[in-house]
């Protein structure tokens, strides 16, 4: 039967009925949308330049799971029903920048900038999931990361300018 793929990127709805099943989410984002912060680095899941946040409803647990995926390895046809967030969805010049972006800037954490959107998404995912921990009462009080969580949040992102120190400092500024 003919099926339509429905998903959202940064709140924008996409509905596709014809697509090459081998198309990756990265190829789609780069060629069919304006969300070009997502970058092709290694193309094989090793660098994090293409990371996006995937939000997916889990009907068994009746909750939404938010996690990062390498869009270079994610087939577009696997994101049916999902909501995808790129760095543009975290914050932008029109709707206002997110504190992550402001602090990356304030800490001079972005050099060439190629890896920065992926780092932004990684830290955003860590913050969102820390917030969820708060809501379940496991970490009462404030929705902050531990120092270790903040450091590890960008563990899957490579920076070829090797400017990790200001990036880690910017991430740690969100730690309790
Ligand atoms: Fe390197 Fe996707 S491009 S992980």
- Render pLDDT for 119-136 as a digit per residue (tens, 0 to 9): 999 999 999 888 777 655
* 57-71, 137-151, 154-168, range with the lowest pLDDT: 137-151
Q: What percent of the chain is predicted at pLDDT more than 70?
A: 93
CA distance 23 to 135: 37
- Retrieve residue 54's tokens: 């995937």
Distance 49 CA to ligand 1 centre (A): 5
Pocket of ligand 1 contains residue 120 by CB under 6 Å = no
Q: Domain ranges in the chain?
A: 5-172
Considering only CA atoms, which of 53, 117, 113, 55 is closest in space to residue 88?
A: 117
Q: With residue 148 as reference, give the H or E element that holds it.
A: helix 147-152
Residue 82 assigned ligand-binding role = no
Q: Is ligand 1 within 6 A of the CB of residue 72?
A: yes
Confidence of residue 1 (pLDDT cuts 50, 70, 90): low
The listed CATH number (3.40.50.1000, 3.30.70.1450, 3.10.20.30, 3.30.70.2740) that belongs to domain 5-172: 3.10.20.30
> What average pLDDT does the segment 74-91 reach?
97
Q: pLDDT-based confidence at 176, cuts 50/70/90?
A: confident
Ligand 1, residue 70: give the atom nearest the CA: 2
Tokens 């992926």 label which residue? 118
């Amino acid at each position: 039967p003919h099926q339509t793929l429905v998903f959202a990127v940064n709140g924008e709805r996409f509905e596709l009925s014809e697509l090459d099943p081998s198309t990756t989410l990265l190829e789609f984002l780069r060629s069919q949308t304006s969300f070009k912060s997502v970058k092709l680095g290694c193309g094989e899941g090793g660098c994090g330049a293409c990371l996006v946040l995937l939000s997916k409803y889990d009907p068994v647990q009746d909750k939404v799971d938010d996690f990062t995926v390498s869009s270079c390895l994610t087939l577009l046809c696997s994101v049916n029903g999902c909501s995808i967030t790129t760095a543009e969805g975290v914050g932008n010049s029109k709707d206002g920048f997110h504190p992550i972006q402001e602090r990356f800037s304030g800490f001079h954490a972005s050099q060439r900038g190629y890896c920065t959107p992926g780092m932004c998404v990684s830290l955003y995912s860590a913050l969102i999931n820390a917030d969820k921990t708060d809501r379940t009462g496991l970490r009462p009080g404030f929705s902050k990361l531990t120092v270790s969580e903040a450091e590890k949040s960008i563990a899957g992102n490579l920076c070829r300018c090797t400017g990790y120190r200001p990036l880690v400092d910017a991430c740690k500024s969100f730690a309790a």
